[in-house]
Amino acid sequence: MTMGYMSSLFWCESNMRRQIVIFGSGEIAQLAYFYFSSDSEYEVVAFTVDSKYIKAPEYCGLPVIAFEDIPGRFPPEHFDFFVALGYASLNAVRKEKFLAVKALGYTLVSYISSRATVLNNGEIGENCLILENSIVQPFVSIGKNVTLWSGSHIGHHSVIGDHTFIAPHAAISGGVEVGEQCFIGINSTLRDHIKVAERCVIGAGTLLLADAAADGVYIGTATERSNFPSTSLRGL
């Protein structure tokens, strides 16, 4: 096989990748760019934010386009989208931009890490971000615009509502229902067959053993500093 033929083949294969625009220009957008570029069928071609938030013309070597100008530059007939935002205002900002992109007619794609274990037969909505070492057991339903950060566990027959953010190593047992726009903190644990209503915050390290009413905040006990200094621990 000649080098010229190999180069042509590579060009054809690379240009068959579906092209996407990422909404965002912060750390989560940079992470999304990394994951999509290194572990997906998609090619990121641009970033976008509202015009008043543009700080530089490029990000990660790609153009940053005002969201107001996106349909004319990257029309929905030819490009897909991913909204890469965090849990600001209890996921309300990510929800707002998800709906705005969808209203323009774009298809919103999801990223599912090749290093995640996903056994729920594809019951995953649009614009989801499922990172490495996450476990999604059989018969789980994951809604739209959901983030599962690294190492999170979603137990069998659980339902995760739209626009929810689940932080690293959160453990959700079987049969749990999590409502829309919830935040489940790092290393938190939810026992089986409970219901977490919409817009709840489950703080880092929290153990939740009963249903959580809407708009609830549940915070675990933080570790306090001991009354002796580390220099007194000579034996360590």
Q: How large is the C-alpha radius of gyration of the chain?
A: 21
Domain hosting residue 176, numbered range: 110-215
Number of structural domains the chain divides into: 2
pLDDT band at 235 (very low <50, low <70, confident <90, very high): low
Q: Residue 144 domain-assigned?
A: yes
Stretch 205-220: mean pLDDT, rounded? 97
> How does pLDDT run across 155-176, given as a tens digit for each residue?
999 999 999 999 999 999 999 9
The last residue of a domain, from among 103, 121, 138? 103
The last residue of a domain, from among 103, 135, 170? 103
> How does pLDDT run across 91-126, given as a tens digit for each residue?
999 999 999 999 999 999 999 999 999 999 999 999
Q: Residue 221 domain-assigned?
A: no
CATH of the domain at 30: 3.40.50.20
